[in-house]
Structure 1
Amino acid sequence: MEDIHKIFSEFKEEFPEIHEKHEALGKEVHEKGGPLDGKSRWLIKMAISGACNHKRALATHIRKARAAGIN
């Protein structure tokens, strides 16, 4: 399987406006993600990225979870 980060980088270069809106959607979903508090959302994101073996995503979510107060 091709590296997802390579694919995403190519997508970002080829479709910058769509990428910008995709990023904004992700932020909106996370910040206004329903009844779950921020810590719970970060724990879920960590679990999903870990279960899918997405090492970069897992590292990013761990860093952001720690910044949100999860230790």
Structure 2
Amino acid sequence: MTLILRLAFQASKYIFWKERNSRLHNSVSRPPSALIVEIKSILRCHLDPISRAQRVRPNGVSVLGSWLACFQP
């Protein structure tokens, strides 16, 4: 869970920085819902390879499975 939260924090910082630069330099802004969708997409893209490399016990849950169970509606 700690890994997921760290990645979420980093992805949020990146998207907010990117949005700030877009507003300053291009005068283009996006709605908050679009930012949230992009953050979720970044997290899934980063968690997928980690989940594939992870050895999961028969009754265990992978990192991507934890993400989907806890944070996806």
Task: Please state which band the TM-score falls in when normalised by the shorter chain.
Answer: 0.3 to 0.5
**What's the TM-score, normalizing by structure 1?**
0.35
**What's the TM-score, normalizing by structure 2?**
0.35
Task: Indicate the structure whose relative CO is greater, using CA pairs within 8 Å and at least 6 residues apart.
Answer: 2
